[in-house]
Structure formats: structure tokens, C-alpha cells
Structure 1
């Protein structure tokens, strides 16, 4: 188990091996990083249990930073973290496969320019750090990188515009509306909207006495009266539409079913 901590401005990330996933263990690791780099104004995490417990809430209050949790079951809401997690997994897999030093690989990764920008070390520390490779002395001299925030803002707007070309804005939900919440089986859980959540584009909903926080894209508005408490029929999954020609072949031989499905897919 590992903890990945990334700086949203520079892309510099830290990778820590965790003996367990308790809140106190994660907090101890974060305190060590905050002592080195300073306390962030905002910390965004996923919805893992160690970030939900009261110990972490007390830690955020005592160390004076805003804690935001991404929407459960919707990793796109914290895209930077997901990209860095993929990089960290690749780093760990390569280190395990080649029996190489993970920390040495991380050291070199911090000094590699990416996507036309200076290296994470240059952005965070205003200079490259010393590695095993030869380095020019002027690269070790501190020099503040200017205009980076404007570049990042422009790229963010371009990415959003590209995404919005095929994306559809979903209408907002109102308190008391009936929705179906997406689970691993589809939109199969009826729930009632209680109101907007603290995180962007998310809502607090209740279903069968339990409260959930979900991204808007995981909630489907339905025209149906509010279910009575404990009415199990209201919580059954939506029926699945199956093409009629497939239904007719259910009683036939397996090879016939396979032939018809292939023809349908074509």
C-alpha cells in the first residue's frame, strides 16, 4: 500500500510506503511532507475511509487547510491525482520487474521536463536537484520560472473546451427529486435528493435510510413518486432491453446463438 501526494502546480509527487491504511498512519506521513514543503491551502483526496474519519477532519482543522474529497466512484473529478497514480503504479511495476531503486527513479522523474514545461523540480524549487547524471552548473542555480500559471490556465481551458465538444451539461437537481443512483449494476438504486454537496457538481442523496454523496453524472432523474420507506419493489434494477431476435434463439443450440449475436453486432 502506498500514499501518493502531488503538487498541483509543479506535478512534483511523493510516494510513501504505508504499513497500514489507518488515518493516524496517513496523517503522520502528511505531517512529514508538510514540515518540508509547507502546509497547503487545500488538500483534495479520494473518498477512502482514512480521509472520512473524524481524526482526519480534526487534523485538517488543527493544521488549517481545506480538505475536499472527490466524488465516490467518479475518479474523473480528481483527474490530476488519477494521472499521477498511474505514473506511480508504472514506476513501482518497473522497479519490481527490473529490481531497481524506486527512490532513484523518482529522483530522476522530478528533474525531467514534461509537456513543454520545466521539470517539477524547477517549478517547485526553482532549480534542478542533483542526480546521478552529469548536470550543468547553471541548471543548479535557482531561477524562478515565470508565466507558468498562465500557461497552465490556458491549457486547462483548452482541455475543457475539447471535453465540452461532446459533453452534455446535465440539469441541476432539486431537493426532494427522485433519482436513480448508479452502482456496479447500473442505475439500480432509487434515492431522494437532499441538496448540493460541498464538492463541485455533487449532491447528497438518501436511499433506504442511508446517506450518499455522488457526482451529478452518477444520478439519473426519474419521473416517479417518492418510494415508501422499506418498499423493496421500488429499489429493483431497471429491466434490460434485449433484442427480440436474441430472445428467439435462447432455446436453440449454442452455435446458433453465437451466430445470431455475431450478425447483430455487425
Structure 2
């Protein structure tokens, strides 16, 4: 409903006045207002004076839009926008502050030139803004301090390394791929096994894959990509599949941020 949008922006009113229209007095509307704890005051029938504020607002809106609408009754025009801004910048009778000043703490810059000092936020508003910024800074410092107590940098990855990839949906490391390049700090372009599709992942979502291989010289494991051979290349064969599954399922997770 439209009221819900207004309540979120300006807060919940204590009382809502209407002229008895069925759109506001229906059971559905009354139930909505009761949920939000808003009293509904209905003016007397055929007695517009009892709902004077609403009638005055309607009359003002009609004057505001009359002659400023575009073709086919469109309100998406420069003239209508200027008229609305001028209304927001005009203090109502008996008040020294305009609607714009009451809401934003300053005048809005519209099509009419005025003293630029009117565009400055009032001292009260400026103080509230500064206090809000200080509170946010204190909260951010506290959160950063708690994070730094346990966080540490992960070892960077280089192109060619084999990695396991975290599945955000299941929380399991059920995909594998090869690092192609570093696209940003702690961010890597990885080619997925099987589909060959590439994806960009943060370092905390990548875990170094340990490849287990049996060599003639007795070597059984080496992390990441195969290091360059030294001297005469040695023939090797892939370890049995069940051994790979055992190591991958029982590998100790590396620390993440």
C-alpha cells in the first residue's frame, strides 16, 4: 500500500483524517491501520469544514498541478517538477520553516535564484549529522578490532595451481578448478573442471588442492601444481582413485578470513 511507503519514510502517524471514502474505511484498510496503531478519524458527511486540513491540501495540489501537466495529463514535466519544488521551499502560513527545511534541514535548489546560505544545513541538523558519523565510525572501529583478533592473510595463489572451490549454497568444497590469473587483490579467475567455465572467486572461497601421486622414487604427495622436474624427468602414475578421495575428504581446511 501507499501508506506503507510513507510510513517507512516519515514514520507512523498517530491519527489519519479522511472524508469517509470507502477506500479508507473498508475492513481491509481499517485492519491495516489497526496493525500500525493509527487512529482513523472520519469527518461528517457533506461537511468539508470538519476535514479542513485535507480539503486545503487537495485545493493546493489542484492549483499546483493546474496548467503544469503535459500532454495526455502527464505529470512527468519540468513545469510540474519546478512547481512542486517551489511549494516545498515555501513556508506555510504561520510558520517560519518550509516543508523542505523541516524534512532536510535546508532549502532545495529550485528554478528561482536565492541566497546560497539557504542551501546550507541548519546548525541543529549539522550537529546531528556529525554525531551520526562519529557513531558509525566508532561502530566500524569496534567491528574491525574484533575481526583483526582472529583474521590473518591467506597465502596468495599463483596461476596454474589447482584449487577446491566453496559452494555457497551447500557450504561444501565440491568443485575443483585451476587458477588462471589474479584479477584483483585476493581475487582470482578460476577455470572449473568439467564444464571449462571460468569464474571469479575471492581467496577465502578457494582452498589449495593436494594432488596425491605415486612416483618411482617413493614420493607420494605434492601440493598444488606439479613443480618443474629437476634433472632427468621421472615417470609416474596416478594414485588409485580411492586414495585420492580419502585424502580430499580428510584434508585439513586452511584458515580463511
TM range (shorter): 0.3 to 0.5
**TM-score, reference length from structure 1:** 0.39
**TM-score, reference length from structure 2:** 0.41
Highest Rg: 1 or 2?
2
